[in-house]
Amino acid sequence: MTGTVAFTSGEEVSKKFRLFLKVREIKGIQKILEEVQMLPFEERERWIDEYGEMINEAIDEFVDDSGITIENIFSDDEALALSQELIFTLKETISTVEGIMYEDAQLES
């Protein structure tokens, strides 16, 4: 029986774990935002008034932090897949935030 064994350094495992955590955090936010989208208009407006600024700041921080996290991470297929999932999840979440926060502006144009 022949084969290759891939050894991963602790630093690479740590980077992959950070990517995994980022994806998980963003998916959690996405799930909450999807629930907010389903709220009646008045409740959604109250939610936006109360939490909108915090969500915008969190998304900005995720974008900045995610850029730092994925720098030089493309060392193997698993890291690449996690990086892609992070980017796609973040993009989807930003679209959801824009749909919730700026729905009225889109309707007026």
Q: What is the number of other CB atoms lying within 10 angstroms of the CB of residue 99?
A: 13
**pLDDT over 90 at 22, yes or no:** no
Helix axes 77-101, 10-37, angle to 10 degrees: 20
CB 33 within 8 A of CB 94: no
**Segment 28-76, tens digit of pLDDT:** 989 999 999 999 999 999 999 999 898 888 888 888 877 666 665 666 7
Query: What local confidence, expressed as pLDDT, does residue 74 receive?
Result: 60
Q: Please name which of 7, 6, 4, 8 lies closest in space to residue 16, comparing C-alpha atoms.
A: 8
Per-residue pLDDT at 42: 93
State the pLDDT at residue 60.
84
